[in-house]
Amino acid sequence: MNGLEKTTVQQYERLLLGIAEASMLLLNGSDFKDAVTQALRKLGDATNTDRTYVFAVSVRNGEPYLNYSFEWVAHGIEPQINNEVLRDVHEEDVEDSIKLLKSGQVFKGHTRELPQDSKTAVFLKLQQIKSVLLVPVFVHKKFWGFVGYDSCRSEREWLTGEENLLKCFSAIISKSRENFASKKSLKETNKLLRLVTENSQDIIALLGNDLGYKFLSPSVFDVLGYTSEELKVLEGKAFLKDDTARNAVLKLSEQAGLGFEKQLSETFTHKAKHKNGRTVYLETTITVVRESQDDEMNMQVISRDVTEKVILERDKEENQKKERELINLRSLFVSMASHQFRTPLAVIHSNLDLIRITLKKYGFPADAQNVLDDAVSRVNGQIANMTDLMSDMLLLGEFQERGLQIKAKHFLLQPLVDEVVQEIKVVDSSNHTFNVMGDDVEVFADRNLIKHALVNLVENACKYSPGQSVVQLFFGFDQKREFVFIEVKDSGIGISNDDLQSVTSTFFRGKNTGDIKGTGLGLAIVNEFVGIHGGKLEIDSELQKGTVVRIILPHKKARTKNRAGFQTSKE
């Protein structure tokens, strides 16, 4: 072996040793930046270069830039790590070298020999570099950057074997970068998992193939009063020992053993015992988890304390049961009372008529006769009032308890309004004038119920407005032809703002109604009738100026709807 060959062998041995030491630093280091810095120092000594460094690619606003990220320099060589010119170098600014590197080849040469149009040469001259070797680094098959080897004191010829060995080192950097990225990702994931499990209010557990705990979150202490360690050694799995939970676990175990391909999961509510002895209700989801059919079966358990929710629902059901019993009792009482009152009221009414006939037959002084007639009339008026009250109470009670069957059909409003006005005229002793205006529109509803509601409104208008005054009725479409309206307007005593919000409540009467007879149920019933058709009742009023009551019904057939306790049928 001659002297040149011996020198070459020693050079390779030194380079191999340097690459081996640098590789160990990269693969075993705990910090990528520190590992690369130390590896460059080893490699710089091994390659006998003046400067060894790493350029890494970064992307900003979709554009790729190169940054001088790591460096080692020999004694007496000026460092470039703080050179602003080498920061954020656009790939286009060194495209001749980058194009070659991205193809997987090295870029090398003497600065003085580079072409005149070489953009890379500009940067080399700025750093007083005489010879350079750039070796690409690919991470996940994507160009990540390159390792550079500078000769600043003299020109340097690189052997093919050296280039190949340094390509191996670039591959080590690539692998190291992937490993550090994976470690960082795993570390961040573990940190997040720990953050979630340690701060979650839910119990999070993992059961192994033997149904023993592999993991149990600290939140079990807040929910059941046990530490994770205490609960792991308790027989019966503690919070999964009641029949509901145990059966769910066994069911999932059996299904998993049969080789079900779909993900197996079960959600249920069950009881558990707190350490202090009280009952805790848990909503638990158990899911079978494993990577493949051949892997060991695990069960992920997530349990949430729903004790308050369960108790509230149980109390709600109990309250609803009591409310139904109270409604039934009230309905029964109203029905019995109404029926019991009807007979004596009828007897009183018939006997009053008999008394009046008898008084006229035997004769009394005129003054006495007038007094007795007035008394009989007042009693008859109160009897009529009580009879109306009983009828309304029975009707409202029947609606609320047994439901009302709506017999919806198409009909025209004009005939209905005319019919109501003619009937009211017969019994209107105050001789009101009725002004009717509107378009003869068709509506889909229960004609009898709408008529009952309209009669009630017109009677109220007559009752609460002066004799011989005008009662106005308007009907037709709204501007968008989505709704049909019927409006009753009077010039009577009106309703105060304080009373306006309560006039549709049962047994409510305005403070200004005085001795005017009424049951306080009329508007409540009208509101129910309109509501079960999917409509609404609007009331505008001003004291001593009158009231406007408006029935608004959906125009289309599909708008009719049911309320609880009401049924709909179509004819």
**DSSP-derived secondary structure for 201-221:** SSEEEEE-TTS-EEEE-TTHH
**From the candidate CATH numbers 3.90.1560.10, 3.40.50.300, 3.30.565.10, 3.90.226.10, the one assigned to the domain spanning 404-570:** 3.30.565.10
Confidence (pLDDT) at 560: 42
Q: What kind of fold does domain 200-305 have according to CATH?
A: Beta-Lactamase (3.30.450)
Question: Which pLDDT does position 329 carry in this prediction?
Answer: 63
pLDDT of residue 489: 93
Which residues, in sequence order, are CB contacts of 563 under 8 Å at separation 6+? 531, 532
Residue 495, Cβ neighbours under 10 Å: how many?
24
Q: How many residues does the chain have?
A: 571
**Tokens standing for residue 165:** 């060995």
What residues contact 364, with CB distance under 8 A and at least 6 apart? 372
**Residue showing tokens 């600014």:** 93
CB distance 441 to 413 below 8 Å: yes
Alpha-carbon span 375 to 362, nearest angstrom: 18
Residue 424 · residue 462 · CB < 8 Å: yes
Which residues have C-beta within 8 Å of that of residue 66, sequence separation ≥ 6? 55, 56, 57, 58, 88, 89, 90, 91, 94, 98, 145
Q: Count CB atoms within 10 A of the CB of residue 306.
A: 16
SS (H, E, C) 66-119: EEEEEEEECCCCCCCCCCHHHCCEEHHHHHHHHHHHHCCCCEEEEHHHCCCCCH
Backbone angles phi, psi at 519, to 5 degrees: -105, -15
For residue 254, the one-letter residue type is E
Cα(437)–Cα(443) distance, integer angstroms: 17
Q: Which helix (H) or strand (E) holds 232?
A: helix 228-233
pLDDT less than 50: residues of the chain: 1, 4, 189, 235-236, 558-571
Strand pairing partners for 107?
A: 134
Residue 213: strand pairing partners: 207
At 50 the pLDDT is 94
The answer to whether 550 touches 485, Cβ cutoff 8 Å, is yes
Q: Which fold has domain 3-184?
A: Beta-Lactamase (3.30.450)
